[in-house]
Amino acid sequence: MDDGCLPGSRGLGSEGRSYLAQSVTAIKGVGPKGEELLSSLGIATVGQLLFHLPMRYLDRSTIIPVASARPGVEGLFKGRLSSATIHLGRGRRRMRGSLLTDDTGSIRCLWFGGFVWGKNWLDDEEVLVWGKVATKGAPTIMHPQVERIRGEIEPLLPVYHLTAGLSQGRIRAWIRAALSVLPGDVRGAVPDDIAAKHRWPDLRKALHGVHYPSTYGSARLSADRIRVEALIPYQLLVLKRREELRESSSQPMRGGVPALRSFLHALPFSLTAAQSHALGEIRGDMANPYPMHRLLQGDVGSGKTVVAAGAMMVSLGHGHQAALMAPTEVLAEQHYRVIAPWMRAVGHEARLLTGSTRKSERKEILSAAASGEPNLVIGTQALIQEGVAFGDLALVVVDEQHRFGLAQRAQLAGKGLAPHVLIMTATPIPRSLALTAYGHLDLSVLDEMPPGRKPVHTIWLEAEDRKRALSMLCRAIDEGHQGYVVAPLVSESDQLEATGATELCQELSAGVLSHVDVGLLHGRMNGVDKERILYDFTAGKIKALVCTTVIEVGVDALGAGVVLIDGAERFGLAQLHQLRGRVGRAGQEALCILVTGKNPTEDAERRMEALLGTNDGFILADRDLELRGPGELLGPRQHGRIPGLLLTDPRLVVVARRCADQIMEDCRDDPTRATDLEALVATDLLGVLEAG
């Protein structure tokens, strides 16, 4: 049967798709107990078992003569095992032993407990033994793996992730059994030209080649092909969602150049090339007859706010409304203080709506918004509360989008009639993550810093050097800089060995910073007090601000030139980079002091070293993903839906997206392929659809 223009579009072949979708109990030897064991690995179907790739291989291309066994050497031996004898090790621990003999000599093999001789092996049977020679005592291979010789020796033996009760031998046997009856029409979805470009075998050969490869090179090519096959259904799902978002009708905003030009001319600075490019992409989206759904990401201090303000100006210039939602009052107030003067300069009013807004003012803002008055409302989740209505909301901007759920963003968009949506994040997102979790969005990247912005000098001190860190902080403030001192907690905790911001403020006010004004800021304070503290700090009245991560994003005090992060091991890499980005925003030399507690973990040390190595948030984002996985970047609600494979190999994710784009294009050219496309999406070998 010819599959036509959509390679593999009729699933993996109807027979192959049906086979891969079967329960693992269809495999000879699995049974209910095996099904339970595989389930704990997230494996429920034959396809998921075959896509459970080896984590490494045992290199059996060279057999080590027994006479060449040296302490610490690990590898493959071949010989005859003598009958087992029982040995008693130290502490009377029960051990089973045997003697492996080849043409060059003999070496003792010892097992802890579970090796059953008589049931599995014949006396003097020739076998393969894989193990490591003990580094002390008489030459001994400790707890080796033993395998009967069945024909030709496979040069690379796969090693899989396991669960308690499951052995390598059992999972290898199940995979071998599944491969032995693999239907001939398993072809896969990767277009032929892309497969040829990467020198990938077809899917059927790849499945055999990854589990029983002849060389490491063939194993890698097979594994890459299989991973891309697993990624394609998810990428197709993302692209289908992207098309669905474009099915709504939206009023196109074409023109409006004079209003935007006036706004840009009134700014006290010029846009960078990256900002101008991103704003151009946004304007192009807003000119379409369907809603924009765009993600704007950039490093700390790259200027996302002015790009968003330009987008809002396009909406206001066409006589429509715009709204910006931020996750915290501190950030919403910061946006208001920055954006309101820009808007006022060109005759537009911005209003601030948060949980702390006075009732009388709230009533006035709600009345104006409901009337359709062309204005901009900046706020927190107060914007999506019942009773808040907009007469003509045409643009929604959501800042720090990972702090909000999909439902919250949809609630704000629902205040208008299919408004354009711009999502912003100050946490740079790795390419693979952008193509998966946010793959339904168009992407704009600010990869350029405003002129004059210098890298922040970063140093790392441990607990015993805390006095030195405080001395450096004091010296920087005495030289005219303002400073942040960040604590991981509001108050000290009996459970955690960490200083609280409240106690730290008292310590500094009575100690090294007793000669300057010290302020305290944390999330438990009411809105009025927070606004007063922030105003005094940005105005320069407060010289040192002791705080929690409430200042992580949005706080823009131009006089701040030093930040001391106490208990730095308790913060994530992205958080630390954001906190570091609070200083040096006026182009001055700036200092970040990381102070870790006693005995930081290896992971914490890696985060500190990564931060010392670069000021580039995109490099750190990739490192953060590598160190801690996608949870911190995605948030738990979204992370739980997306398998790690989709996020951690940017090279393959990009190829999978290219495959999905080509498949979607083929379907557009031939609408009769819609059923084939649905079948391919439903292949879902990673279980994404069930999870999400």
pLDDT tens for residues 98-124?
889 999 999 988 877 655 554 566 667
State the pLDDT confidence band at 594, using cuts at 50, 70 and 90: very high
- Written as six digits, the tokens of 430 are 């790795």
Q: Which CATH architecture has domain 257-446?
A: 3-Layer(aba) Sandwich (3.40)
Architecture (CATH level 2) of domain 61-153: Beta Barrel (2.40)
Radius of gyration for the alpha carbons in the chain, expressed in angstroms and rounded: 31
Tokens 């030709």 correspond to what residue? 152
Write the pLDDT tens digit of every residue in 459-496.
Answer: 999 989 999 999 999 999 999 999 999 998 876 554 44
pTM: 0.69
Contact 630, 639 (CB under 8 A): yes
What are the residue ranges of CATH 2.40.50.140 in the chain?
61-153
Determine the pLDDT at residue 413. Answer: 73
Torsion 687-690-691-692 (CA) sign:
positive
Find the helix packing angle between 257-266 and 329-345, rounded to 10°: 110
Residue limits of CATH 3.40.50.300 in the chain: 257-446, 457-614
The residue type at 608: M
Strands 420-425 and 293-298: parallel
Q: Looking at the predicted structure, is the pLDDT value of residue 636 above 90?
A: no
Non-local (6+) Cβ contacts of 360 within 8 A are: none
Average pLDDT, the chain: 83
How far apart CA 392 and CA 417 sit, in angstroms, is 8
pLDDT in tens, 158-214: 999 998 889 888 999 999 999 999 988 788 889 999 999 999 999 999 999 999 999
Query: Which pLDDT score is estimated for 405?
Result: 56
Fold of 457-614: Rossmann fold (3.40.50)
Q: Please tell me the predicted confidence (pLDDT) of residue 575.
A: 87
Helix (H/G/I), strand (E/B), else coil: 623: helix
